[in-house]
């Protein structure tokens, strides 16, 4: 599997380089492996990639995504001249000041997952302060929880990805993790395990997803063109069609 993923990445990198040189209307965006939102081995490379690609086409552009670890994707999207931006990014005041955020291309329901045999029950975020939560390096966790983490009121254990956190949870190496519900559901479905892990009925946050275009004149033009096409697109319909096709293939 690792060799297969490496070959896919190699082919994608070669295609990325060739197209970047030949297509003047190319939008080059950095992203990450975040199934089912993004992923090289997913149909259409994930639901967020599918939506972004569809909207970009309607705006007269061709979108090409290259996958990295999240912190590297942000760095590439913000600073590397080979990229116009990155996605999918949660809305936050910090991100809104750092780049030109598109209108929403979807929503992420963020919550707490724990084992069914030892569920974490909470009604308000302060109830979680006695539990060390698994979080992903560089991810936004909602304003209230991020403030508690910053103030050292909430203990956390940082991992490089959601996949690592899910593996730690299933192995009982951590009691609870912060994760998007679609990510959790898709991962457990892929593993054939849907009953041992539970998602808290209280969401931490409902966070809109966006494309983060570079904060320069070209980035502003791209964002405006993308938003104009996005306003004419039924995002909910695209998402529903995508998930119906994806799960029917399993």
**CATH assignment at residue 134:** 3.40.190.10
Clarify whether residues 199 and 221 are in a common domain.
no
Question: Residue 95 CB: number of other CB atoms within 10 A?
Answer: 16
Give per-residue pLDDT as tens, 151-181.
999 999 999 999 999 999 999 999 999 999 9
Q: What's the pLDDT at 18?
A: 45
Clarify whether residues 202 and 168 are in a common domain.
yes
Angle, CA of 34, 9 and 32, to the nearest 5°: 20
Clarify whether residues 169 and 129 are in a common domain.
yes
Clarify whether residues 230 and 186 are in a common domain.
no
Q: What's the pLDDT at 29?
A: 98
Clarify whether residues 36 and 156 are in a common domain.
no
**What does the buried/exposed string (b/e) look like for 28-56 if buried means 16 or more CB atoms within 10 Å of the residue's CB?**
bbbbbbbbbbbbbebeebbbbbbbbbbbb
Clarify whether residues 230 and 117 are in a common domain.
no
Clarify whether residues 26 and 120 are in a common domain.
no
Rounded CA-CA distance 248/126 in Å is 40
Read off the tokens for 18.
Answer: 């060739």
Least confident of 16-25, 186-195, 203-212: 16-25
> Is the per-residue pLDDT at 3 higher than 70?
no
Q: Is 71 helix (H, G, I), strand (E, B) or coil?
A: helix
> Is the per-residue pLDDT at 17 higher than 70?
no
Clarify whether residues 53 and 69 are in a common domain.
yes
Rounded CA-CA distance 44/227 in Å is 21
Instruction: Decide: 84 and 218 in contact? Cβ < 8 Å.
Output: yes
Total domains in the chain come to: 2
Evaluate the omega torsion of the peptide bond into residue 36 and state whether it is cis, within 30 degrees of 0.
Answer: yes
Evaluate the omega torsion of the peptide bond into residue 88 and state whether it is cis, within 30 degrees of 0.
Answer: yes
Q: Which of 138, 158, 14 is nearest to 76 (CA)?
A: 138
Q: What's the pLDDT at 110?
A: 96
What stretches of the chain show up as alpha helix (H) in DSSP?
Answer: 2-22, 47-58, 70-79, 93-98, 143-150, 162-170, 181-191, 217-230, 235-248
Clarify whether residues 73 and 142 are in a common domain.
no
Q: What's the pLDDT at 190?
A: 86
Clarify whether residues 113 and 138 are in a common domain.
yes
Q: What's the pLDDT at 23?
A: 45
Range of the domain at 212: 2-106+208-248
Clarify whether residues 173 and 91 are in a common domain.
no
Using CA of residue 48, residue 53, residue 58, residue 59, what is the dihedral sign? positive
Clarify whether residues 36 and 119 are in a common domain.
no
Least confident of 13-22, 89-98, 128-137: 13-22
Give per-residue pLDDT as tens, 63-105.
999 999 999 999 999 999 999 999 999 998 888 999 999 999 9
């Amino acid at each position: 599997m690792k060799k297969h993923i490496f070959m896919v990445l190699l082919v994608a990198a070669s295609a990325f380089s060739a197209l970047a040189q030949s297509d003047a209307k190319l939008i080059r965006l950095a992203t990450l492996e975040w199934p089912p939102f993004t992923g090289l081995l997913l149909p259409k490379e994930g639901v967020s990639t599918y939506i972004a690609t569809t909207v970009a086409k309607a705006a007269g552009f061709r979108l090409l995504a290259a996958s990295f670890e999240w912190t590297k994707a942000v760095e590439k999207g913000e600073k590397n001249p080979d990229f116009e931006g990155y996605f999918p990014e949660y809305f936050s005041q910090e991100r809104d000041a750092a780049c030109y955020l598109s209108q929403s291309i979807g929503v992420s329901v963020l919550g707490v997952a724990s084992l069914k045999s030892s569920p974490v029950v909470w009604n308000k975020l302060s109830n979680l302060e006695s539990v060390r939560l698994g979080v992903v390096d560089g991810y936004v966790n909602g304003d209230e929880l991020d403030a508690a983490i910053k103030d050292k009121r909430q203990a956390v254990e940082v991992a490089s990805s959601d996949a690592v956190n899910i593996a730690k949870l299933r192995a009982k190496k951590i009691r609870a993790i912060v994760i998007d519900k679609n990510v959790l559901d898709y991962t457990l479905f892929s593993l054939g395990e849907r009953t041992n892990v539970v998602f808290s009925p209280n969401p931490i946050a409902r966070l809109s997803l966006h494309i983060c275009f570079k904060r320069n004149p070209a980035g502003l033009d791209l964002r405006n063109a993308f938003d104009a096409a996005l306003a004419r697109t039924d995002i909910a319909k695209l998402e529903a069609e995508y998930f119906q096709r994806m799960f029917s293939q399993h």
